């Protein structure tokens, strides 16, 4: 018998928390992203840690506090173009490099984020 591999258990809460903090540090300085985010990203980062915990197979922290994620609907107020989705993914890839998230667990995680990020695109146009 083989133990099922839960990505959240492989990554662990500390590395996930570092990843999210490093990621929002980059979002806060990205010319294409910071204009649509709040100035204070503390609460955003807290929710993202909850969300990614459950996204990776850990406890359902996001849903317990906020209900069904409905991520595409929750992103509708924000103009997310294809270019912004790619910028989001670039910040995430750089953050993964910086915190040292490597290997298959990173590849699988990142590939799922590509799908989710592209699903968030809700506006056409180069940057609007
Ligand atoms: C919230 C932008 C992709 C998960 C937000 C907010 C913005 C945003 C502006 C609101 C921040 C706030 O008010 O605190 C974007 C952009 C994306 C993107 C430009 C590019 C595609 C994603 C992806 C995920 C995600 C791929 C998940 C893997 C979340 C979560 C929240 C959030 C969990 C908090 C929702 C809540 O208020 O409860 N995002 N996002 N986002 N985003 Fe994204």
91-126 pLDDT tens trace? 999 999 999 999 999 999 999 999 999 999 999 976
Structure confidence at residue 3 (pLDDT): 74
CA of 2 to the centre of ligand 1 (A): 35
Helix (H, G, I), strand (E, B) or coil at 105: helix
What is the best residue among 24, 44, 95, 108 to mutate for testing ligand 1's pocket, by most ligand atoms within 8 Å of CB?
44
- Residue pair 47/96 in contact by the 8 Å Cβ criterion: no
> Mean pLDDT in the chain?
96
Q: Classify the complex by whether its ipTM is higher than 0.90, answering yes or no.
A: yes
* CATH number, residue 57: 1.10.490.10
CA of 45 to the centre of ligand 1 (A): 9
In this structure, which residue's CA is closest to atom 3 in ligand 1?
A: 117
Give the confidence band of 12 by pLDDT, cuts at 50, 70, 90: very high
pTM over 0.90: yes
User: 5 lies in a domain?
Assistant: no
Which domain range does residue 37 map to?
12-119
What is the number of domains present in the chain?
A: 1
100 in the Ramachandran plot: left (φ > 0), alpha (ψ -120 to 50) or beta?
Answer: left
> Does 82 map to a domain?
yes
């Amino acid at each position: 018998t083989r133990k099922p591999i839960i990505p959240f258990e492989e990554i662990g809460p500390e590395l996930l928390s570092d990843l999210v903090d490093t990621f929002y540090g980059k979002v806060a300085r990205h010319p294409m992203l910071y204009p649509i985010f709040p100035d204070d990203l503390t609460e955003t980062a807290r929710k993202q840690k909850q969300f990614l915990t459950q996204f990776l197979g850990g406890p359902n922290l996001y849903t317990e506090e906020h209900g069904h994620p409905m991520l595409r609907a929750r992103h509708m107020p924000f103009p997310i173009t294809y270019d912004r989705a790619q910028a989001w993914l670039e910040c995430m890839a750089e953050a993964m490099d910086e915190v040292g998230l490597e290997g298959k667990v990173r590849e699988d995680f990142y590939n799922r984020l590509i799908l989710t990020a592209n699903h968030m695109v809700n506006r056409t146009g180069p940057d609007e």
